[in-house]
Amino acid sequence: MLSVKCLLTHEGPGRSAARLLAALAVLGCATTPTPDASLPADIDAGSDAGSDAGHDAFVRPDAGPLPSCGNATPLALSQCIDSARYQTDLEAIAMPRVPASPHWQAVQDLCASRLTSLGFAVERHTYETGVNVIGVRAGTADATHEVLLGAHYDHIAGCDGADDNATGVAATLELARVLTMASYPRTLVVACWDEEERGLVGSRAYATRAMARGELIDASFTFDMIGYTNDAPNSQTLPGGFSALFRAQAAEVAANENRADFIAVIADPMSSTAATSLETYADRIGLPFVPILVPASLLDSPLIADLRRSDQASFWDRGYPGVFITDTSEFRYAAYHCRGGPDVVANLSQHFGTLVASMTVAGVAQALGLSQ
């Protein structure tokens, strides 16, 4: 397997490629398959980018019928995601929300009130410069072990931030609702992170506190931009130099005519089981999926800073697992940070965001201990 299976970052392509090339040179990585004991066996991309599953329906024709909404299995829970609820929250959240602004406060209040209404024990985790909203639902048998789900609710000035990251917050709130339909051995923690745009400040404050307290986080999932898709050929780009380093992954995207129709999942070695489960459910519901497995030797390297630009990096830095779920940002979406136009709800796919939420609620339920 490749030392780094795949890389789709959250920042400019030229800089990403340069840093990665430097990192690979320093660490002695190769572009040909090399063994890496810290990573699992290669995850096949299944019905992922390059599949013939159908870009409009996203349905696997060979998988059989999906179950009805229910709480007996993770897959049944995946069918309980309510697309209309997700969209309503997305539209409510997608307005400028710089920290300390009125709408920032309104979204913070929405997170707190929604989690409270769902039965979570809610804390407004106030640290030096901001406020995280944390909801806790205790496990039934192994409550000291936690599974965490979160998304940042802040954004930059003068931009609605619909994809970044109203989509993630809306999905987090909908997952919180669905996950309360079942009981789990492990404890569920749901978070709305503050000040991600200022350098992952809120999630770092929480992860630092968790480490100091000796909290056991078995898995963590971060949503950051999950709503933009485009099935037109050549709508997906890759970092400069990517094809030379990661020929199999570039070939997969190329075989799909470079369509921006997949969800990318970045995971550290401790999160390999979580990444595998997400891929299983993505394949089952017909969501194109590209896994990005990062070896431990690269997790804290400043040479790959662009991989660390969302809140999962705060958990990596404290020795916790972290999975980052993203639509790949400006590699397909020109309106990232409103650079190439407004980042508004009208640009986004309600169907795609719903599928990502469905995949993830199943993966989180499995991590919490719900039987498959």
Cα 219 to Cα 150, 241, 279, distances in angstroms? 11, 32, 16
| pLDDT classification of 62: cutoffs 50, 70, 90 | low
More confident position, 290 or 336? 336
Residue with tokens 């309360």: 180
Task: For residue 327, count other CB atoms closer than 10 A to its CB.
Answer: 30
Smallest CA-to-CA distance from 343 within 84, 132, 85, 157 is with 157
Amino acid identity, position 110: L
Mean pLDDT of 201-205: 98
Kindly tell me if the per-residue pLDDT of 246 is higher than 90. no
**Residue 147's CATH number:** 3.40.630.10
Quote the number of domains for the chain. Answer: 1
The pLDDT tens digits for 74-87 are 999 999 999 999 99
Count of alpha carbons within 13 angstroms of residue 61, beta-carbon side: 5
Q: What is the mean pLDDT of the chain?
A: 84
Cα 271 to Cα 159, 220, 260, 292, 323, distances in angstroms? 33, 8, 25, 11, 7
306 near 334, Cβ under 8 Å? no
**115 falls within a domain:** yes
| pLDDT classification of 140: cutoffs 50, 70, 90 | very high
Cα 268 to Cα 68, 142, 262, 315, distances in angstroms? 33, 24, 20, 10
Q: Is 42 helix (H, G, I), strand (E, B) or coil?
A: coil
Amino acid identity, position 337: H
Tokens of 36: 């890496």
As a residue count, the chain comes to 372
Instruction: Please state, in angstroms and rounded to a whole number, the distance separating the CA atoms of residues 163 and 229.
Output: 11
Element (H, E) at 202: helix 201-213
Smallest CA-to-CA distance from 355 within 278, 248, 293 is with 278
SS3 percent helix, strand, coil of the chain, rounded to 5, is 40, 15, 45
The pLDDT tens digits for 277-308 are 999 999 999 999 988 787 788 788 664 565 67
Cα 290 to Cα 156, 262, 279, distances in angstroms? 28, 7, 8
More confident position, 149 or 54? 149
**7 falls within a domain:** no
The pLDDT tens digits for 338-358 are 999 999 999 999 999 999 999
**169 falls within a domain:** yes
Give 188's contacts (C-beta < 8 A, 6+ positions apart).
136, 137, 139, 146, 147, 149, 179, 364, 368
Q: Looking at 89-103, 250-264, 274-288, 354-368, which range is the least confident one?
A: 250-264
Kindly tell me if the per-residue pLDDT of 23 is higher than 70. no
Cα 261 to Cα 54, 58, 257, 359, 366, distances in angstroms? 10, 10, 11, 15, 25
Residues 133, 9, 232, 357, CA torsion sign = negative
Tokens of 129: 């410069």
**6 falls within a domain:** no
- Confidence at residue 4, expressed as pLDDT on a 0 to 100 scale: 30
Cis peptide before 165 (omega within 30 of 0): yes
**3 falls within a domain:** no
**340 falls within a domain:** yes
**5 falls within a domain:** no
Tokens of 60: 């696997």
Residue 139: give the domain boundaries: 13-368
Q: Looking at 31-45, 104-118, 217-231, 298-312, which range is the least confident one?
A: 31-45
Instruction: Please state, in angstroms and rounded to a whole number, the distance separating the CA atoms of residues 131 and 107.
Output: 11
Kindly tell me if the per-residue pLDDT of 179 is higher than 70. yes
Smallest CA-to-CA distance from 226 within 53, 10, 73 is with 10
- Confidence at residue 15, expressed as pLDDT on a 0 to 100 scale: 39
| pLDDT classification of 365: cutoffs 50, 70, 90 | very high
CB contact burial 131-147 (16+ within 10 A = b; e otherwise): bbbbbbbebeeeeebbb
Give 72's contacts (C-beta < 8 A, 6+ positions apart).
none
Angle at 329 between CA 300 and CA 55, to 5 degrees: 125
Kindly tell me if the per-residue pLDDT of 37 is higher than 90. no
* Strand bridging mode 131-137 / 145-152: unpaired
Mean pLDDT of 219-241: 91
**85 falls within a domain:** yes
Amino acid identity, position 21: L
Q: What percent of the chain has pLDDT over 70?
A: 78
Amino acid identity, position 280: T
